[in-house]
Structure formats: C-alpha cells, structure tokens
Homo-oligomer: A and B are copies of this chain.
C-alpha cells in the first residue's frame, strides 16, 4: 500500500492499546450427519470462563499467528478437534458487552460441514472432552450465547439446503444418489421425491459417475458418484419440493 510521509508518521505513532478493543474470537458450528441425524460438535471447556460447560469450539484470534480470519477458523478447528480442510463458510458476527463476563466480546462465527466418513475429532488444547450433539436438541445448555448461535446456524443451514447443493460437503468423496438424497431429507426434515430429485441433480451437472465402481449390498448395487467441482456452490432456481412419501 502506498503511503505518504505524513501517513508513515501517523502509522508509527499508532498504538492499538490506546483503544479499548473488544475481545475477538472465532467460534465454529461444525455439522455432520450420523445415523441420518444432523449433529454438531461441542467441546467441554477446561478453562474459565464457563469452565466445564459445553460450548461450541472456538478461540481467540491471534494476530501474530493468523494471517486472516479464515485461517484463524481453520487453525482453531484443527487445534480443538484435529479436523482439517472442511467446507467452511462465515455465518455471522456477534458482538456486544454482555455475552462474555470478561468484557465486550466479538465473535466471528463459521459453520463447517464435515463428511460423515472422516470423523475422528479429538479433544485438543483447552478442551477436556468433545461430543456430537443433536443439532436440534434444545435440552443441552451451552455456554455463553452458544444456544442462540447454534439455532441461527441450523436455520441458515436448512434454508440454504432448500436451494443449494450444500449437502455435497457432508458426503464422502464417493457416494450414491440415495445417500445424497438422504442428506437433503435429514436436514430438511421431510422426504423428497426420488425422480424429481434425480432430475434436478442431473440437470445441475454438479456430480459425475465414478466409472467401474459400485456400492454392493444384498440388493442391486448402487452407482457411485463424485462432485465435479467442490469449490463453487450450485444454486438451484427453485426451492426443493416436498413429497408425501415419508
């Protein structure tokens, strides 16, 4: 960035501690699907505040360590759970003076989607235990305002699954069409018509057959598919329909 001489002087004299900055953290809502149920990862806190309470995995942004917020989110995810390279997306940022007993606290919230085959999270730094929580289970009391955050995340996920191919990121590299459809059904909470679903997916051109490989069982084998492009999210022009077959 080009800077004038007056600007350089200004910058040299600048000191962040002349301000009263908020505590800036990143929190993660990590989704996966286990046994056809939407689950989210929570960690038991080993340190104050809210010690020994369950909370969404999160941590403080370390300006010496993290080049940017996305990197911070990925670092924290790995530190606390061991999970690497998931799909992450920024959800929202919450900041107010009440949410943390220490001080004015700002948190950037991400939601992450993890394929249900690659799940081996382990409790990491400042976490005594982790577990998968039923995402729509409202009995579990989470620390801070994390119940609210989780609720928002579930709402956003559901709404986005109505008109995008987001569930691709909850699937393993190779999957069957039935599995693909089931992820939609699990998240949306209602069944989806098979033929309409397949037409929709076929015309979106987002997956391709894995030639020569099949999923075998005590029935007709299923073709395996894989995503063509995991970087760009596909948007449908209509919402997903509802079928009464459930």
Contact in complex: B63, A11 (CB < 8 Å): no
B residues less than 8 Å from A4 (CB atoms): 51
A21 within 8 A of B: yes
| Total chain A interface residues with beta-carbon distance under 8 A | 46
A60 to chain B, nearest CB (A): 7
Given A20-B16, A24-B24, A64-B20, the answer on whether A7 and B49 have CB atoms closer than 8 Å is: yes
CA distance A63 to B103 in the complex (A): 9
Q: Which of A16, A62, A68, A237 counts the most chain B CB atoms within 10 A?
A: A16
Asked whether, in the complex, the Cβ of A22 is within 8 Å of the Cβ of B90, the reply is no
Specify which chain B residues have a CB less than 8 angstroms from the CB of A108 in the assembled complex: 93, 95, 106
User: This chain: how many copies in the complex?
Assistant: 2
Chain B proximity of A3: nearest CB distance (Å): 6
Chain B: CB-nearest residue to A52: B4
Residues of A near any B CB (own CB < 8 A): 1, 3-4, 6-7, 10-11, 14, 16-17, 19-24, 48-51, 60-64, 67-69, 72, 90, 92-97, 101-104, 106, 108, 163, 237-239
Q: What is the bound-complex CA distance between A64 and B97, given in angstroms?
A: 9
A19 to B64, CA, bound (A): 10
**Can you name the residue of chain B whose Cβ is closest to the Cβ of A64?**
B20
A95 / chain B contacts, CB cutoff of 8 Å: 24, 61, 68-69, 72, 108
Interface centre among A4, A11, A22, by most chain B C-beta atoms within 10 angstroms, is A22
Within 8 Å by CB of A49, from B3, B24, B72, B106, lies B3
